[in-house]
Amino acid sequence: MIQTSRSARGWLLAGAALSALAGPAAAQEPKRGGTIIVHMPSEQRILNPALRASTGVYNITGKIMEPLIDKTYDGPVGVLATEWSSTEDGLKITVKLREGVNWHDGKPFTCDDVAFSAMELWKPLLNYSSTLQQYLESVDCTDDHTAVFNYSQPMPLDLFVAAMPDLGHPVPRHLYEGTDIMKSEYNTAPVGTGPFRFVEYERGQYVIAERNDDYWRGAEYPYLDRIVWRFIPDKSAAAAAIEAGEIHESGFNGISMADLQRLSEMGGFDVGTQGYENNVAHSTVEFNHRNPILADLKVRQAIYHGLDIDYAIQTIMRGYAKPGRGPIPSAGGANYTDDVPTYAYDPELAKRMLDEAGYPAGADGIRFKLRHRPAPWGEYTQFWAEYFSQAMKEIGIDVEILTNDAPGFLNGVYRDHDFDTANGWHQFRSDPAVSTMVWLRSGSPEGTPWSNQFGWQSDEMDQMIDAAQAELDPAKRAERYHEIQAKAMAEIPVIFAIEHPFISVTTTKLKNHHNTPRWNSSSWYDLWLDE
């Protein structure tokens, strides 16, 4: 198992859980050729990661278009960038670009492409990135392969680097310049620098990409001839296709937990959370603080005490999860701490606290009623809502579940505030500044989805978040995030109840799979098929 390649080291670092998967694979000589078929449960339709920041987009385009920097188990590694540095005041970030890289149409990749992408797409058009890059003033090209990002407010280099794997995909300037970017034909027929070039997108059926013979890592890569992504919306049918050998890989919980467990016991499949360290999500309970009952901290604490998180992890997530410790998951690296207040499962204590808060049980055993909106994002959120309702009944709170589809949920919670409690599934994106802080910071425009629209506001918290975001020293920055985490756990504006990575099922014929922390979004240049 001891090899010097980056991927092999990655396997070792990630710990004992994967030794069973990696052992035989690392020893074999990779084979060239083959077509692999990947299951996609839904369709994103836009295939431009510089226009849509979404794992569903990266799953496909990650093989075709590459970011400046990607994340490995050894930390950030340059892809289209080779070096990066920042001035002391944090106002200038200089990125050296890789030389000798060509777009799939044969034109060379240069700093012009990066400058154009940053100013015309990343800053004005890309979701999440427009917040990250709001102080980006300009990008200068001092030579063909050096890009200088100029900021009007300090930009921590750590934050920039952490964001690049998701929010740093350049597009070819010569194909986009002077056109309506939102309507460009290349948004659905991407041209990139990656190991695979786009061939065909048949709506509702599949996307095909084939080997790029001119890949910059050398003629050896990629190993595969072709990748096909098949859209199968029905989870049971997808599970059958995997079992019948028609599909090699299904990621992001594309099939039901029951089928995942069944396939993992069948043999011939690797099932696990390996490769999702960068795609961790929280299952939450969100409160509408406009409701005076929920505005009472004691009530929120009692609700937390009333939830048997470990039971939910075992039954709903089948053990593939951990209890949450505030807005930063344990995958958050140095910014994470577990030194925070916690709320152990104790229904008797919860009942006493509710009595003390002034909500005694009535004759029917009910203290008060809550209207709960579950987000319609897959299996976990529905089950977690049902468990929440059940657990609350135990401590005398009657929870009525209002089922809704995506637009109904987003409007009901974020725009109309027509809920008492809600639960969702929210991804942590490498750095708290570009992801979970929006849950706690006030001041998002009224009605913005995925932001603090809960009627909760704390000036102290706002200041702490702003200070952490502007802090340039990594150690001090981490310390500030630890303080935020502790405060969020003490005041519980939102319960970040469970942190869970996603789960993949992969045929054991695939080798070198799930060897980076955002593997399903990565380029798969070293993936090979043993057939």
List interacting residues with another protein (CB under 8 A): 35, 37, 42, 44-46, 52-57, 125-128, 130-131, 182-183, 187-188, 202-206, 208, 226, 228, 230-234, 236-237, 240-241, 243-244, 246, 404-412, 426-427, 444-445, 447-451
Helix%, strand%, coil% for the chain, nearest 5: 35, 20, 45
Unique residue bearing structure tokens 């990749």: 109
Provide the minimum distance between the beta carbon of 191 and another protein in the complex, in angstroms, as a whole number: 16
Closer to another protein at the Cβ: 122 or 384? 122
Provide the minimum distance between the beta carbon of 200 and another protein in the complex, in angstroms, as a whole number: 9
Unique residue bearing structure tokens 């994002």: 377
Residue 374, CA distances (Å) to 284, 331, 436 in order: 10, 25, 19
What is the SS3 string spanning 445-479?
CCCCCCCCCCCCCCHHHHHHHHHHHHCCCHHHHHH
Closer to another protein at the Cβ: 26 or 438? 438
Closer to another protein at the Cβ: 73 or 419? 419
Closer to another protein at the Cβ: 183 or 219? 183
φ and ψ at 31, to 5 degrees? -105, 145
Please name which of 483, 489, 482 lies closest in space to residue 335, comparing C-alpha atoms.
482
Closer to another protein at the Cβ: 202 or 460? 202
Q: Hey, CA dihedral for 100, 104, 106, 109, is it positive or negative?
A: negative
Closer to another protein at the Cβ: 125 or 486? 125
Provide the minimum distance between the beta carbon of 302 and another protein in the complex, in angstroms, as a whole number: 30
Angle 152-155-161 (CA atoms, 0-180°, nearest 5)? 140
Provide the minimum distance between the beta carbon of 212 and another protein in the complex, in angstroms, as a whole number: 17
Closer to another protein at the Cβ: 41 or 76? 41
Provide the minimum distance between the beta carbon of 416 and another protein in the complex, in angstroms, as a whole number: 8
Collapsed DSSP state (helix, strand, coil) of residue 265: helix
The DSSP element (H or E) to which 203 belongs, if any, is: none
The neighbouring-strand residues paired with 449 are none
Collapsed DSSP state (helix, strand, coil) of residue 62: coil
CA distance 314 to 336: 24
Closer to another protein at the Cβ: 451 or 522? 451
Closer to another protein at the Cβ: 10 or 195? 195
Angle 416-420-421 (CA atoms, 0-180°, nearest 5)? 110
Collapsed DSSP state (helix, strand, coil) of residue 154: coil
CA distance 486 to 491: 9
Provide the minimum distance between the beta carbon of 88 and another protein in the complex, in angstroms, as a whole number: 30
Provide the minimum distance between the beta carbon of 90 and another protein in the complex, in angstroms, as a whole number: 22
Asked if 455 contacts 287 with a C-beta cutoff of 8 angstroms, the reply is no
Closer to another protein at the Cβ: 78 or 190? 190
φ and ψ at 69, to 5 degrees? -135, 140
Closer to another protein at the Cβ: 257 or 478? 257
Q: How far is CA 58 from the centre of its chain?
A: 11
Provide the minimum distance between the beta carbon of 252 and another protein in the complex, in angstroms, as a whole number: 11
φ and ψ at 503, to 5 degrees? -125, 140
User: What end-to-end distance do the CA atoms of the chain give, in Å?
Assistant: 22
Asked if 439 contacts 414 with a C-beta cutoff of 8 angstroms, the reply is no
Provide the minimum distance between the beta carbon of 415 and another protein in the complex, in angstroms, as a whole number: 9
Provide the minimum distance between the beta carbon of 434 and another protein in the complex, in angstroms, as a whole number: 10
Q: Where are the beta strands (DSSP E) in 359-433?
A: 368-374, 397-401, 421-423, 425-427
Provide the minimum distance between the beta carbon of 369 and another protein in the complex, in angstroms, as a whole number: 22
